[in-house]
A = this chain, B = another copy of it.
Amino acid sequence: MNFGENIIGFSGSGCGTDVIRSVDPTTGNQSGDFFVATQAEVDQAGQKASEAFQVYRKKTGLEKARFLEAIADEIIAIGDELIIVCSRESGLPGGRITGERGRTTGQLRMFAALLKEGSWLGARIETADPGRLPLPKPDIRSMQIALGPVVVFGASNFPLAFSVAGGDTSSALAAGCSVIVKAHPAHPETSWLIGRAIQKAAKSTDMPDGVFSLLFGDGPVLGGQLVQQPEVKAIAFTGSFAAGKAIFDLAARRPIPIPVYAEMGSTNPVFILPEALKHQADHLAKGFSASVTLGVGQFCTNPGLLIYEDDESAVVFLDHLASEFSQTSGGVMLTSNIYDAYTRGVESRTGLHGVELFTRGAATDHKNTAEPMLFKISGETFEAQPELAEEVFGPTSVAVEAKSKEELLNIARGLSGNLTATVHGTPVDLEEYKLLLEILEQKVGRILINGYPTGVEVCSAMVHGGPYPATTDSRSTSVGTAAIERFTRPVCYQNMPDALLPEALKDANPLHIWRLINGSQSKEII
């Protein structure tokens, strides 16, 4: 296993002639050669993932939990090298990377705990009734089983938590699926370090060769090859709308279509209601400015829209906002491509009819360094130009001034699917704008009251998802324990002898899990 090789199960492989290089976005310096995977290597990873799946799917919850915990341990064992490399490749400060490492290992341990507890299997038992008329009732028992090999696309903006060992990989491995990760070209060395940690953990916990692979390559080419691997049964992706939609379309056209969990663009509207605008102008201006520019605005939950009603409080609020936002500063973006896209995005806004560049953050002329920009438009302008609701990835947002409550509600009605929507309001406001909450509930995966959407709590109740185009599957979440459900399907056993049933469904309930027995939750034995 040499530096820069693709990781295919327990082996390293660098058969290709093309390479990608690690780039420091702050300086433009390049380092390290990472072999672009050949079609033969992609096929080999697919074949190994398929064979490994047959072994891995039968591992117990405890065995899989130990694997996930070992991955967390191996990631920590990389030590400072990981922080230094990841910070260099992403341009993100070491403190942020250290926090993200904690989140990543925390996610792995959360899924390990979920596996140890076991009730996630969703066991359902209907006991037989041989005397039932007109026909006897059979014994029927169902549970969730793993779908098969999963392809995960690493994301650029969370080089640890949404990448090689991130939420997608950890939930797929927890479900019992083997995983092939496409490394994001923005952080190949970080990916390689993490991939090797997973490989070590797989070996030390006796997992099958092929349970995990990591491949390097160009997005559309390698991505296309992976999506079309016949053995692959599901895709998880976080990134741009264009790439996510292309993957979705390709997967739907496969001879055997497969589910695609693509988390794509979102503008995460923030509504400020009249009383809150009046009484908390300073506080809200500060909080909003910080949320837009946090992490150079490179979050899927970055608030790209601010909506409020035009009245005398709005004038005061806008003064505060101008003052607060102008004190923000930008930073180096993840890649020069992302910086270029940001520059194009804000420039195209500047040219639109009715769009005012309201205020800017501090500018520097450092390489790939974004300047925060806040635009301001009328509700009418917003409704006339739907492209203003599209995400511009980076530290920018659009303040939309509605003429009336009715216009504000109409703006909400016109929103497309988003990951989040936020409402700031006093108790009086919230009571008066119940209808807004009802509208937003149908547009997003998460509604926040008096908070900011940046910051996604990893827990059992989180929904990080939402209607299209926020994701390609609104029935799922990519963060939190429920993320595991993306990679399973139910199977039922009719009149299967107890000895042959999976542990989760045996009479004696050897896993001590919650089961739905004849329609009622229970931990009882049969």
Could you list which residues of chain A lie within 8 angstroms of chain B, going by C-beta atoms?
54, 58, 99, 113-114, 117, 119, 124-126, 134-135, 137-138, 140-142, 145, 147-148, 248-249, 252, 256-257, 259, 417, 427, 430-431, 434, 437-438, 441-442, 444-451, 455, 457, 459-463, 465, 467-469, 472-475, 477, 481-482, 488-497, 499-500, 514, 516, 518-519, 521
Contacts and interface: CB of A to CB of B under 8 A. Distances in A.
A486 to B, nearest CB: 8
A450 B117 contact: no
Nearest to A520: B117
Query: Most B CB atoms within 10 A — which of A252, A259, A455, A469?
Result: A252
A448 B138 CA distance: 10
A490 B493 CA distance: 28
Number of copies: 2
A489 B462 contact: no
Contact of A257 (B438, B468, B499): B468
Given A142-B463, A468-B256, A496-B447, A490 B516 contact: no
A103 to B, nearest CB: 11
B494 A430 contact: no
Contacts of A481: 519
Contacts of A145: 441-442
A474 B489 contact: yes
B140 A462 contact: yes
Given A145-B441, A497-B427, A492 B248 contact: no
B447 A493 contact: yes
A463 B447 contact: no
Contact of A489 (B113, B142, B475, B494): B475
Contact of A124 (B58, B142, B460): B460
Contact of A138 (B431, B451, B491): B451
Given A492-B462, A516-B461, A455 B135 contact: yes
A424 to B, nearest CB: 11
Nearest to A437: B500
The 5 closest A-B pairs by CB, nearest first: A463-B492, A124-B461, A252-B252, A448-B494, A140-B461
B252 A500 contact: no
B451 A463 contact: no
Given A257-B468, A445-B492, A451-B494, 7 more contacts: A124-B461, A142-B462, A145-B442, A256-B468, A445-B490, A449-B494, A450-B495
Contacts of A500: 430-431, 434, 437, 449
Contacts of A467: 256, 489
A42 to B, nearest CB: 22
Contacts of A477: 490
A441 to B, nearest CB: 6
B519 A117 contact: yes
B492 A126 contact: no
Contacts of A248: 252, 257
Contacts of A437: 500
